[in-house]
Amino acid sequence: MKIAKVFVNQPLKQIDKPYDYLCPDTVLPGMRVLLTFGKSKTETDGMVVAVRDSTDYQGEIKPILAVIDDAPVLRPYQIKLCLKMARRYCCRFYDGLSHFTAPVKLVKNKTDANLPTIRAYRSSDTFFHLTRTGENAQTKGKVMGRLIEFLKQGDASSAEINRSFGSVSSSLKSLEAKGWVERYNLDIGDPFYPTALPPLPADEPAEDDAYLAATKKKADSGNRLVYLTGDDAAAAFQLMCRIARDTINASGKSLIVVPQIETRRRLCKAFNDCFGRTGAIYSASLSQREKYRVYAGVKNGRIRVVLGNMSALFLPFDRLDDIMIVEPGDESFFSEASPHFRAMEVVRDLATLTGAKTTIYEAAPSAEAYHACHTGQYDVVPLTLKSSGEKPKLVDMKRELRAGNLSVFSRDLTKAMKDALGSGKHVLLIFNRRGYDTYLFCRDCGRAVKCPLCGTVLKVSSDGAVYCPSCGQKQHAPEICPDCGSPRVKAQGLGIEKIEEQLKTRYAHVLRIEGERSLAKRKKLSAYDFEHPTVILGTRALIGYELSDVGLAASILIDIDLNAGKQSDIVTLQTIKRFFNLSAGKKIIQTYIPEHAVNMALSAGSTRDFYSEELDYRRALGYPPFGTLYYVVCFGKNDFQVKKDSVTVYEALRSSGEEKVFKPVFHRRRAGTGDVEYHILIKTNHPDRTADHIRQTLSSSALSRLYAKTTIFVNPPWSV
């Protein structure tokens, strides 16, 4: 027997390492196995990461009880990627592994006593096969004729037929009765699962400068990334699809990653029209059966190009020639669960491990991307604009006040809205402040009413209730000031609900869109049928929806984001640029500070001075791309104990040799759970060394019994 190096599915970081187990010769790296750990007799699962002929361990070596998988569920490069994620983000191996194994998760076996108590998820499909008689058959039925032509391309599952034709069960039964079609069942993961591929569409768009430049740079760039820049996101996606088509025609595999894929219906349709059954759309919101279907298709080579969100990065391609990612700075490309990774970091690692070429598109580059473009790390390809968009117009709201206009809608904006709606176009308005009023203000002591749990200023909803935007605490509006007892408490400020109320007094059709947590609500909004020209008001969540016939896009008050702090400036620039890309017509920015660097960059169309200042600022503070930020987050329900434990962790990190460790500070109280968070910031130019220090420190016996839980963030979006 051989020796398997196995990571065991257990909850403690202190023992998160591979252990030796005796295994049969049939066990391979990437397989999951059944075993017991330590003195426990309870069966659990483990992942084999390596197989050796011998071991240096001198004690008794336990045998593997059973092999769960018939074949490896992870490819060798995926094992390396998972190990790298566990090290970089100081998390358990199984935390990273959950992303890779989501389509083939383990389930309890309750049916077959001869099988292990834990088994891998499997699913079968009903297939339809065109018989020899059916190949030459003639029919007057239009649906049956289309089905016959479809099946001539190869056997098709019922799901594929339903996606292409809708419900056609009666026609299929008629074809079966005639003996033209036969049906059979087959496991989706079976090696004999049909892999017949239809030809790609023959019509090719005319070659343009951007396509020629991108393909040339891809061929000549070595390991450098190709960076697409420009205001036309649709042109960028079309270019990526053409690159993927070229790769498939050369027998390669491609992956296109886009943010918030669940609500981009037109984009998904364009992808399906382009690639047919050679491609698949994948996201974490799919059912378990659909995840497994795509996983199996990618693994057996039937699916050669995938469009998805960041969960698609963990599919088991046998080879990967192209990775293309759209707007890598989008907030949906950051994992809220451990490991807290950013999609772009995984893309870089994946490209290194597989040798894939990488292409990026951003409407406005991040600081890291801008620096990489201007230091020769990225090859820049400007896109040819296909929209008739105008440069944004700055409206100084101080002039509006001096002219006697006290409304939040400037005269320029009011006229532009009238013109757009009059021409049958929609109007998009962005305002990143939720609620009805911004805060409750005491006119005697001058203080704003704050959340009793986390200290955040409370917001006021349209029904008069108050809520905390940080921890979610809701309550009735207090009648007296909690600080001085004065009854002179008044709502102040301006929220998106109040703006909606004002719009409804002026326009017949108004729709408000905020950050909907429910996927069902997001899908409903993305399919919203606008029968009339509509004023669509929203927060930055607007960017996640596909909207057409837009004649005007306007930021009602960009100052809300600009006043959020220096580090939000580049995020504001990216957000507003992407928002303006939704409109091919006019663009307006209302502001009280027109001289601000972001406003100047947006209105002038030149960002050189803005990025130069931003990079100087980051260089001085050691922020990315000139350093790496690690946040050690201590959290729990007991405020006093979490604060005390965070100090203990801080002292231990300083003793580990890290020089730039900053004292713990209160960050927030989590919505839903009510857990309080304290953050310890570490700045470093040696991220691998720092990750090892953090992991060793948190795994030490001195910190193993702390009350507070810990998790690690690396360059989180709210810091960079």
pLDDT digits (tens, 9 = 90+) for 129-184: 999 999 988 888 889 999 999 898 888 888 788 878 888 989 999 999 999 999 99
Q: What is the pLDDT of residues 635-663, one digit of tens each?
A: 999 999 999 999 999 999 999 888 899 99
Q: What is the pLDDT of residues 255-308, one digit of tens each?
A: 999 998 877 888 888 898 888 878 999 998 898 988 998 999 899 888 999 999
Cis geometry, peptide bond prior to residue 339 (ω within 30 degrees of 0): yes
Residue 608 is predicted with a pLDDT of 86
Residue 413 is predicted with a pLDDT of 96
Q: Residue 189 pLDDT > 60, yes or no? A: yes
Residue 668, CA atoms < 13 Å, CB-side half-sphere: 12
CA dihedral angle for residue 513, residue 515, residue 517, residue 523, rounded to 10 degrees: 40
Asked if residues 244 and 322 have their Cβ atoms less than 8 Å apart, the reply is yes
Per-residue pLDDT band at 567 (split at 50, 70, 90): low
Beta bridge partners of 185: 126
Q: Residue 532 pLDDT > 90, yes or no? A: no
Please tell me what DSSP assigns to residue 435.
Answer: S
Residue 564 is predicted with a pLDDT of 63
More confident residue, 674 or 565: 674
Q: Cα–Cα distance between 684 and 678 in angstroms, integer? A: 20
Q: Residue 526 pLDDT > 80, yes or no? A: no
Per-residue pLDDT band at 528 (split at 50, 70, 90): low
Residue 437 is predicted with a pLDDT of 66
The mean predicted confidence, pLDDT, of the chain is 87
Asked if residues 561 and 597 have their Cβ atoms less than 8 Å apart, the reply is no
Determine how many CB atoms are found less than 10 A away from the CB of residue 120.
20
Annotate 636-656 with DSSP letters as a single string.
Answer: ES-HHHHHHHHHHHHHHHHHT
Per-residue pLDDT band at 194 (split at 50, 70, 90): low
Q: Which residues of 473-499 are buried (b: 16+ CB within 10 A; e: fewer)?
A: beeebeeebeeeeeeebebebbbbbbb
Q: Residue 621 pLDDT > 60, yes or no? A: yes
- Mean pLDDT along residues 72-101: 96
- Mean pLDDT along residues 604-618: 87
Mean pLDDT is lowest, of 71-75, 453-457, 621-625, 631-635, for: 453-457
Residue 48, CA atoms < 13 Å, CB-side half-sphere: 31
Q: Residue 343 pLDDT > 60, yes or no? A: yes
Q: Cα–Cα distance between 170 and 173 in angstroms, integer? A: 5
Residue 425 is predicted with a pLDDT of 93
Residue 489 is predicted with a pLDDT of 80
Asked if residues 661 and 682 have their Cβ atoms less than 8 Å apart, the reply is yes
Domains identified in the chain and CATH numbers: 2-120 (3.40.1440.60), 124-187 (1.10.10), 209-288+303-382 (3.40.50.300), 393-433+496-618 (3.40.50.300), 628-714 (3.30.70.260)
Residue 14 is predicted with a pLDDT of 84
Q: Residue 703 pLDDT > 90, yes or no? A: no
Mean pLDDT is lowest, of 121-130, 206-215, 423-432, 678-687, for: 206-215
| Nearest of 716, 636, 647 to residue 676 by alpha carbon | 636
Residue 358 is predicted with a pLDDT of 94
Q: Residue 570 pLDDT > 90, yes or no? A: no
The CA-to-CA distance between both ends of the chain, in Å, stands at 51
- Mean pLDDT along residues 489-495: 77
| Nearest of 352, 359, 407, 405 to residue 379 by alpha carbon | 359
Q: What is the pLDDT of residues 233-263, one digit of tens each?
A: 888 898 999 999 999 988 899 999 999 887 7
Q: Residue 60 pLDDT > 90, yes or no? A: no
Determine how many CB atoms are found less than 10 A away from the CB of residue 53.
7
Residue 12 is predicted with a pLDDT of 85
Per-residue pLDDT band at 449 (split at 50, 70, 90): confident
Q: Residue 709 pLDDT > 90, yes or no? A: yes
